[in-house]
Structure 1
Amino acid sequence: MTQPATETTIPAAEAAFSLDRIVAVTLQTATQTWTDFIARLPMLALALGIILATWLLAWTSLRVARRIAGRRARPSLLRVIERLIKLAIWATGLLLALIVVFPGVSPAKALGGLGLLSVAVGLAFRDTFENFFAGMLMLWKYPFEAGDFIECGDLLGRVERVHIRMTTLREVSGELLLVPNSRLFKNPVRVLTDQPERRVSILTGVAYSVDLAAALEIVEQAVGGCEHVMRERPPQILAHGFGNSGMEIEVTWWCGSTPLAVRQSRSEVVVAVKAALDAAGMEIPFPYRTLTFAEPLTVAHDDDA
């Protein structure tokens, strides 16, 4: 025979005892937590004082660094020094605050934990750290500063600022371009404004029937009279070679190094050379085409003429 199922019931006294025990344990845990918090208040206050002292020390150190190296160091190098000082001071201050709040954490354990954390973060943000270190090296030793025009591949613009992770360029058309520092660090960069002057060359020419020596003198006088051509460096006007339609002349001069200065001087020189050769009656050659027909052409005559 199957025995009927019996229902297990908990006495009311036992249930009340269990509830009272849970409440007691909860109160004991809360009391212990509050006691530990009160006991650690001096440590927390000390850690807060360490953080405030760290901030004050970093602020004072930056002011001293600006006074000492501000007149001698480049602006980019000064920014590197400031960042390194802030990083070292804050890392030390936060480590001390951590040791004060958690006495069981030794400096060796804290540094070991930071080392493991840095490895994990470095693997996760490899590109970010690559741009970071590239930016530090660029600020340390690269020859361009804010305001310089640089060219890197198909990029051309004026450097507004070199940040830790990226460099901001203002393109000649006005757009703001954000370039990762690793790209500028790994690829060749042309600093167009490293010197205050820049050499520009164009090719012109005269017909074969023109006196070439006289044409060279006329072109030299025309270029020398241009406002955007530097007087300190005389232009170089040289015969370049024999072209398809005339003699080629190489015109070289020095002007300002910015893209606008180059464009202005090139426009002025082209206009001056064209006007001078036209005034002298010297033909600037253009392509001639000679058509040869296999059979004679019949010329039609107008009977009414």
Structure 2
Amino acid sequence: MNLVNILFHRLWEMATEFIKLLPQMAIALLVLVATWAIVRFSRRLAERMLSQTDTRGTLVNLGETLIGVAIWIVGILIAMSIVVPSVTPANILAVLGLGSVAVGFAFKDIFENFLAGILIMLRKPMRIGDMIECQDVAGRVENISLRDTHLRHLSNELVVVPNSFLFKNPVKILTDETQRRYSVTVGVGYDVDLDAAAAVIEKAVRSVEGIDADKRIDVFATEFGDSSMNFTVRWWAGSKPIEMHRTRDGVVRAVKRALDEAGMEIPFPYRTLTFKEALPLTRAKETGDHARPAGDEDDKRE
């Protein structure tokens, strides 16, 4: 019976304390609602101000996020101080400082990607819509968040890449400029005049639609191949992958057509076989219009 009374009195005291805290909790709730409204207004104001500058879209999103996080931290600290007056912002920050070590070890990868995302947005020239390559990952950048980056493969698969991976490894941005240089290797026969072949190849490349004829078109004789003299042919065109494929296809077709018309051979690999001993050659005997194997003659005599 005494145990029941003790539990009853304890619950009554807790209910009484809770009722006393209701006004303070209501005020804290109003503070949180006001914080939410201030965050929305601040993010819209920041977006409007930053959009009028040359700031990239990823940096605009970063600025909005950081502003929102800072305001929420202040609002939550104020609300906690209202509900529990003995807990001051200094005490809360001290507790957070002690707990940050354990949290840092537990969520190391998350914080690493978070910081890498901020640094990518601040330092990297990577933009939404760029085609990039990083080790064995390639695709078009669709979104850069604080934790990961979304890449869309040319075959339409979506790859979610941790920001720390992109930050630690070299990233090739294929569309950083509107144009880039491409090359193919063209081989001609050893009996072909190289100066005449180079002139034919350059003229053919200049006729291809989509290349920049105002920039240099290089035709360099580069090596003595197994069965051909090889040229490296280089030209400039748009940096998008589809422009690379279109111009490369056009160059290969145009060069092949021009060399054929000029009577210049594009040789395929030749192979010469040598033997240590001479091979015996026999002539098949013919019966009528068709040759018969030697075994047939033996069977006939039997």
TM-score with structure 2 length normalisation? Answer: 0.89
Per-residue displacement from partner, 1:188-247 (whole Å, max 9, x unpaired)? 111111011111111112112112211111111111111132233242222223323222
The equivalences for 1:1-305 within 5 A come to 19=1, 21-72=2-53, 73-304=55-286
Residue in structure 2 matched with residue 6 of structure 1 by the alignment: none
> In 2, are the aligned partners of 1:77 and 1:141 still within 8 Å (CA)?
no
Task: Give deviations 1:236-267, integer Å, cap 9, x for gaps.
Answer: 22222332322211110112212222122212
User: Match of 2:161, SS?
Assistant: strand
Distance in 2, Cα, partners of 1:61 & 1:174: 37
Bigger mean CA deviation after superposition, 74-83 or 281-290: 281-290
Q: Distance in 2 between matches of 1:117 and 1:52?
A: 27
Aligned to 1:12: none
- Shifted more, 89-98 versus 240-249: the winner is 240-249
Larger deviation: 220-229 or 90-99?
Answer: 220-229
Shift of 1:285: 2.2
Change (3 A) 1:281 1:22: same
Q: Is the 8 A contact 1:150 1:158 kept in 2?
A: yes
- Whole-Å Cα distance in 1 between the matches of residues 41 and 191 of structure 2? 77
| Aligned 8 A contact 1:79 1:139 in 2 | no
Q: Distance in 2 between matches of 1:195 and 1:162?
A: 20
Structure 2: give runs of 5+ residues left out of the alignment.
Answer: 290-302
Contact 1:224 1:234 in 2 (8 A): no
User: Quick one: distance in 2 between partners of 1:211 and 1:110?
Assistant: 83
- Indicate the larger mover: 254-263 or 161-170: 254-263
CA deviations on 1:16-40 (whole Å, 9 max, x unpaired) are: xxx2x44444443333222222221
Tell me the TM-score normalised to structure 1 length: 0.88
Poorly superposed stretches of 4+, deviation over 6 Å: none
SS in 1 for 2:160: strand
What is the rounded CA distance, in whole Å, between the counterparts of 2:284 and 2:60 in structure 1? Answer: 87
Separation in structure 2 between the aligned mates of residue 93 and residue 270 of structure 1, nearest angstrom: 65
> How far did 1:46 drift?
0.9
Q: Judging changes above 3 Å, is the alpha-carbon distance between structure 1 residues 294 and 25 closer, same or farther for their aligned structure 2 residues? A: closer
1:131 touches 1:180 (CA, 8 Å); kept in 2? Answer: yes
Q: How far has the Cα of 1:296 moved from its partner? A: 3.6
> Helix, strand or coil for the counterpart of 1:144?
coil
User: What displacement does 1:298 show?
Assistant: 4.1
Q: Spell out, residue by residue over 1:52-106, the C-alpha distance to the aligned partner (whole angstroms, 9 max, x if none).
A: 1111111111111111111321111111111110111101110111111001112
Query: Matches of 2:240 and 2:149 in 1, distance apart?
Result: 19
